[in-house]
Amino acid sequence: MSGGMSPVGRALHDRFEAVCRSELQRLRKKTASLTEAERAQVDALALEVTRSLAVTLDAAVAASGRSGIAPVVMRLFAVTPSEEETQ
């Protein structure tokens, strides 16, 4: 899915996924009553929503005439594309 993303989109994807996984881990005590299968479903759904957000933001940043929004989005979410992706 992220193969066609821009460097900014890829950085957003990585950042969002890291935050999502961290939050899911932090909430383990609150989800302790769930079965392993239920917890896996919650994790999968949360990660899918996170990935969809990154794809949507990537499309908005990459849209024609919107090049000025990329620095704002990058600053807002504290992301920087990796050096390999910008070359």
46 belongs to a structural domain:
yes
The 10s digit of each residue's pLDDT in 6-51 is 888 888 899 999 999 999 999 999 999 999 999 999 999 999 999 9
Asked whether residue 10 is assigned to any structural domain, the reply reads: yes
Question: Looking at the predicted structure, is the pLDDT value of residue 87 above 80?
Answer: no
- Whole-number Å distance between alpha carbons of 63 and 45: 27
User: What is residue 16's three-state secondary structure?
Assistant: helix
- 8, 79 contact by CB (below 8 A): yes
18 in a structural domain: yes
- Supply the pLDDT for residue 86: 46
For residue 4 the two structure tokens come to 């066609």
Looking at residue 61, its pLDDT comes to: 83
The answer to the question of residue 87 being in a domain is no
Looking at the structure of the chain, the number of domains it has is 1
Show the domain range for 10: 2-81
Q: Which residue has the higher pLDDT, 68 or 26?
A: 26
**1 pLDDT more than 50:** no
Mean pLDDT check: name the lowest of 21-30, 47-56, 75-84: 75-84
Residue 86 lies in a domain: no
Q: Examine residue 47 and state whether it is found in any structural domain, yes or no.
A: yes
